[in-house]
Amino acid sequence: MTIDTVDVSAADPTHVDAVCRTLGFVRIANHGVDDVVLADARRQAHAFFDLPLSDRMAVAMPTPGYPYGYNPLEAETLNASIGGAAPPDVKETFNVGPVDPPRRPLDQMADPDERAVYSPNQWPDALPEFRPALERLYRDMGMLAARLMRIFALALDLPEHHFDRFVDAHGSALRLACYPSLDGPVADGRYRAGAHTDYGTLTILDLDDQPGLEVQSADGSWISVDHVPGTLIVNLGDLMTRWTNDRWRSTMHRVVAPTDLAPRRLTMPFFHNANWDARIECIVGDGEVPRYPSTTAGRHLMAKFRSTVT
């Protein structure tokens, strides 16, 4: 099985539905995110991970469960989000949350978890161009995600703008994921990122040219996902599977070290989430019954996020 490609500028809803029913991973072309924006963000990301550890730790997540800032090597275990017992991931990350003010003030948010989504981002003083580069990418990825949700609506035989009101105040997260170079085997069978599914509606991923991302097919085999210039990878999250009443797949994936000697790898995933208070009711067809109770996007997200913190 290979990864299908969808042209965002002329997407066929029937094709999109078929991809989301089968693998849940797709390569997108003509996506509209400027190559310069992606290149600037990637350049700044490399510069950040080149900083001395003391500079990186100056913007570390201050407490367990704090969502934004630097997360040092082996501080996260993605496999735990599916109840797994794999060792911590061999990676370090930097996370960025919403870059524009929420539509209502923090002191009007009764739920502390909702306020946490809008926790202040942390920016390294040593890199003055880091913040604007990542804010540009965050906003562009958010616009692309909204566009993809409209394509998804058509693929589900819904009005094109069906999802707009559920994602117009999204609390998404942009991540810089750095997998350090390897000069020998990864100890204890560890992965650069353990097998997991993503949590929200969809993930948009900018890959580099290093191999390692693998997707699990329906028969249990693992498929390598390679970088193709000019494209991005999109995969569904758990919330979308729940929302579509299991019509669409949130697919297990992982990052492996392809050899005992591997250069540093850097990817930039954008984890798109529905609005915190979006009420998620299963979209059912004729004769179907909901397989999941009603929930909110925020509760679903935070339960998943907190399960991965070591």
Q: Check residue 308 and give its pLDDT.
A: 56
The residues that bridge with 223 in the sheet, in sequence order, are 215
Lowest mean pLDDT among 20-29, 101-110, 126-135, 279-288: 101-110
pLDDT at 39 over 80: yes
Assess contact for 24 and 248: CB atoms under 8 A. Answer: yes
C-alpha 214/C-alpha 12 separation (Å) is 26
Q: Check residue 208 and give its pLDDT.
A: 94
Q: Note the pTM of the prediction, 2 decimals.
A: 0.93
Q: Check residue 2 and give its pLDDT.
A: 81
Query: Does 185 or 173 have the greater pLDDT score?
Result: 173
Q: Check residue 192 and give its pLDDT.
A: 79
pLDDT at 161 over 70: yes
Q: Check residue 86 and give its pLDDT.
A: 60
Q: Check residue 305 and give its pLDDT.
A: 67
- Using a pLDDT cut of 70, give the percent of the chain over it: 90
Overall average pLDDT of the 206-219 stretch? 92
User: What count of other Cβ atoms lies within 10 Å of the Cβ of residue 158?
Assistant: 14
Q: 3-state secondary structure string, the chain?
A: CCCCEEEHHHCCHHHHHHHHHHCCEEEEECCCCCHHHHHHHHHHHHHHHHCCHHHHHCCECCCCCCCCEEECCCCECHHHHHCCCCCCCCCEEEEECCCCCCCCCHHHCCCHHHHHHCCCCCCCCCCCCHHHHHHHHHHHHHHHHHHHHHHHHHHCCCCCCCCHHHHCCECCEEEEEEECCEECCCHHHCCCEEEECCCCCEEEEECCCCCCEEEECCCCCEEECCCCCCCEEEEECHHHHHHCCCCCCCCCEEECCCCCEECCEEEEEEEECCECCCEECCCCCCCCCCCCCCEEHHHHHHHHHHCCEC
Overall average pLDDT of the 130-139 stretch? 98
- Using a pLDDT cut of 90, give the percent of the chain over it: 71
C-alpha closest to that of 214 among 241, 252, 182: 252
User: What count of other Cβ atoms lies within 10 Å of the Cβ of residue 181?
Assistant: 9
C-alpha R_g of the chain: 19
Overall average pLDDT of the 127-141 stretch? 98
Average pLDDT, the chain: 90
The residues that bridge with 253 in the sheet, in sequence order, are 196, 215
* pLDDT (tens digit per residue) in 41-100: 999 999 999 999 999 999 999 988 889 999 988 655 555 555 555 667 788 999 999 999
* Domains with residue ranges and CATH for the chain: 5-306 (2.60.120.330)
pLDDT at 120 over 90: yes
Residue 248: band (very low, low, confident or very high) from pLDDT cuts 50, 70, 90: very high
Q: Check residue 225 and give its pLDDT.
A: 94
Pairing assessment for the beta strands 202-206 and 253-255 based on DSSP bridges: unpaired
Lowest mean pLDDT among 41-55, 174-188, 238-252, 273-287: 174-188
